[in-house]
Amino acid sequence: MGRVKLSIAILLLILSYSIASTFIIKHNTEKLIGAIEDTQQLVDQDREKEAIESMDRLYDISESYDDVASIFIRSDKTSGIPTSLARIKPLIKKDNDEVHAELESLKALVKWIYKSERPVCSNIL
């Protein structure tokens, strides 16, 4: 009987960890995507100075995201975020049209990370 109780306790612990990690990653993903969309709006409105300040906030949020995500997600999945962020700020300063594509690429990457980490049958099995 002791083994059954221990097994149930371990399963509940694993389930709790999975649920908590999903909510934490979802919250941080939404926060990062919101910051990306704010930067997109500022770039669309040709407000370069505010867009660069928004990029600084986006760097901070992405560092926070990386710190939290490193607990739950393999680092090879999140390694593309800093690379993409490093390309965006110079594109904003040069008023380059590629900034839109880079921001969309970053947003797609962040969404993919969340989607690939959700606990669905195909991810678990």
Q: What tens digit of pLDDT does each residue of 26-75 get?
A: 999 999 999 999 999 999 998 889 999 999 999 999 999 999 888 888 88
Q: How far is CA 24 from the centre of its chain?
A: 11
Token pair 């993919």 is found at: 112
Check if the beta carbon of residue 100 is closer than 8 Å to that of residue 22.
Answer: no
CATH number of the domain located at residue range(s) 2-124 in this protein: 1.20.120
At 124, is the pLDDT very low, low, confident or very high (cuts 50, 70, 90)?
Answer: low
Cβ burial 11-21 (10 Å sphere, 16+ → b, else e):
eeeeeeeeeeb
Domain residue extents for the chain? 2-124
The percent of residues in the chain predicted with pLDDT above 90, rounded, is: 55
